[in-house]
Amino acid sequence: MDVMTALRTHWDRLAAIASVIVGLVSLLLGYIGVSGTEYVVKQMPYIIANGLFGLFMLGLGTALWLSADLRDEWRELRALRIAVNEHGIAARTADAEGHPTR
């Protein structure tokens, strides 16, 4: 799998990484903004806009990554169930016809 194909098919993981990076940058900017002023009234917008937004993006990134993992697990399980079902049908057919499956 080349890089472009990986990026296209794993766009949800890419979005997760981007969300986490945006969240970290937002937290850093918030820290810089808060440390640049002495007044709490001026610090509060940084806390809300950068601090809470950064936490939101970190949570979103985590959820996106976990959902990508869940989707992969679900696809593997579905493929396994399809394979098992097909193998069972093939084995029953072979038994009915008196042939070994292998």
Partner 1 sequence: MTTAVREPRARRAETRAGTARVPAYVLASQRRTRRAVLRGEGPWRRPDRLIAVGGCLLGLAGLVVCSWAAAGEVDLSTQLRWLLGGIVSVAVSSLCLAYSLMSGLRTLRIEVARVLGTVQPAWPTTRAGAAGSGRAVTVTGMRRHHHPDCPLVAGKQVRELTAADIADEGLRPCGACAS
Q: Which residues bind partner 1 (CB under 8 A)?
A: 1, 8-12, 40-41, 44-45, 47-49, 52-53, 55-56, 59-60, 63, 66-67, 69-86, 88
Closest contact distance (angstroms) between CB of 81 and partner 1 is 5
Specify the residue, 28 or 63, whose C-beta has the smaller distance to partner 1. 63
Specify the residue, 1 or 96, whose C-beta has the smaller distance to partner 1. 1
With beta carbons less than 8 A apart as the criterion, state whether 68 and 15 touch. no
- SS3 track for 1-16: CCHHHHHHHCHHHHHH
Closest contact distance (angstroms) between CB of 102 and partner 1 is 10
Give the Cβ contact number of residue 99 at 10 Å: 9
DSSP state of 101: -
Closest contact distance (angstroms) between CB of 11 and partner 1 is 6
